[in-house]
């Protein structure tokens, strides 16, 4: 899993970028009604209020929330992005799930998932038996 740490780092950096880029805009959206109170609080909800306060607010809230999620939590999204990489050979992409061999049958590189997906497959074949079938 440490091989993909660069991906985690870049996702976190992107979250930080979203926070830094859009959080000031979000603060400005809250400060704007304080600077021009008569334009916002006279007759809510007017189209002006909705389009020129709520819409920019939404447009700046969403990136900030998403950036905060990526920066502080984000593990679920990162796991989802790696959903079909885990279990495959990192070099050639060969499906190594259930493969008990020390090396990838496709490219010969070391099998990092050896024994980690040793579950019996449907049809009564154990992991070893299915390996024999697939590699043979």
- Residues binding other proteins (CB under 8 A): 3-4, 6-7, 10-11, 14, 18, 22, 43, 45-48, 50-52, 54-56, 58-60, 62-63, 66, 81-82, 84-85, 88-93, 102-103, 107-110, 112
| Least distance (Å) between residue 76 CB and other proteins | 13
| Least distance (Å) between residue 71 CB and other proteins | 13
Please name the residues in contact with 17: beta carbons below 8 A apart, sequence gap of 6 or more: 67
CB 18 within 8 A of CB 64: yes
CA distance 3 to 35: 50
End-to-end alpha carbon distance in the chain? 29
Cβ distance to other proteins smaller for residue 113 or 130 = 113
């Amino acid at each position: 899993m440490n091989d993909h740490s660069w991906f985690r780092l870049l996702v976190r950096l992107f979250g930080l970028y979203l926070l830094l880029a859009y959080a000031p805009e979000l603060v400005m959206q809250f400060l704007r009604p304080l600077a021009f109170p008569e334009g916002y609080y006279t007759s809510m909800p007017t189209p002006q209020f909705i389009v020129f306060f709520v819409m920019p607010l939404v447009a700046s809230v969403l990136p900030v929330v998403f950036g905060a999620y990526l920066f502080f939590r984000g593990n679920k999204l990162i796991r989802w992005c790696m959903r079909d990489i885990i279990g495959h050979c990192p070099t050639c992409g060969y499906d190594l799930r259930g493969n008990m061999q020390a090396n990838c049958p496709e490219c010969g590189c070391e099998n990092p998932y050896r024994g980690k997906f040793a579950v019996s497959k449907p049809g009564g074949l154990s992991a070893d038996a299915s390996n024999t079938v697939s590699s043979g």
